[in-house]
Amino acid sequence: MPSNDVFCMGKLELVIESDNVSIYSPKYDGETLTEFEKFMSNNGALSHPQLKKDFDEIIARIQKMLMDCGARENLFRLEGRNIKALPLIIEHRRGRGVGTVRLYCIRISDRLLILGNGGIKKVTRFEDDPVLLGIVNQLRDIERQIFVETRKAHSDYEDYQTIKIIIETITI
């Protein structure tokens, strides 16, 4: 995520697409990786078994969306309006202090998804972790921009072609 003391601009970049879903991720000017690519890079080699299991579940959910069912609502944890998190279910754990891995995203519709960044959540609420809160707030700002542009276009989130154009052309 870009530092808060520098005003950054960027775009939403198409990172993965299938017949079922188009997946985008923020990429800020001057950065080489999208936010989702940063998530993959930072969390792909976790050694703790619980965290590795969470990461693997996130990847499995994304693959299911791509190959099978799109970004269905029931695949995500609700984090407030269209802001969601993966994985959906975390089994009860005994090892306190280990945390869970979360990937935060914006679910626009079954066919449009924006993957942000995430990380290890060691607190009860993401609002209590400044890094995770920053990621979620970044996504909230992007979702607000998409909502405003959708209204200007006299459309709604179910209009796949119009929303796809908005996602591909807005500056974040």
**Is the pLDDT at 2 greater than 60, yes or no?**
no
Percent of the chain with pLDDT over 70: 90
Domain ranges of the chain: 10-26+34-165
Which pLDDT band holds residue 90 (cuts at 50, 70, 90)?
low
Q: pTM of the prediction?
A: 0.90
DSSP state letters, 62-114: HHHIIIII-S-GGGSEESSTTEEEE-S-----S-TT--EEEEEEEE-SSSEEE
pLDDT higher at 114 or 1: 114
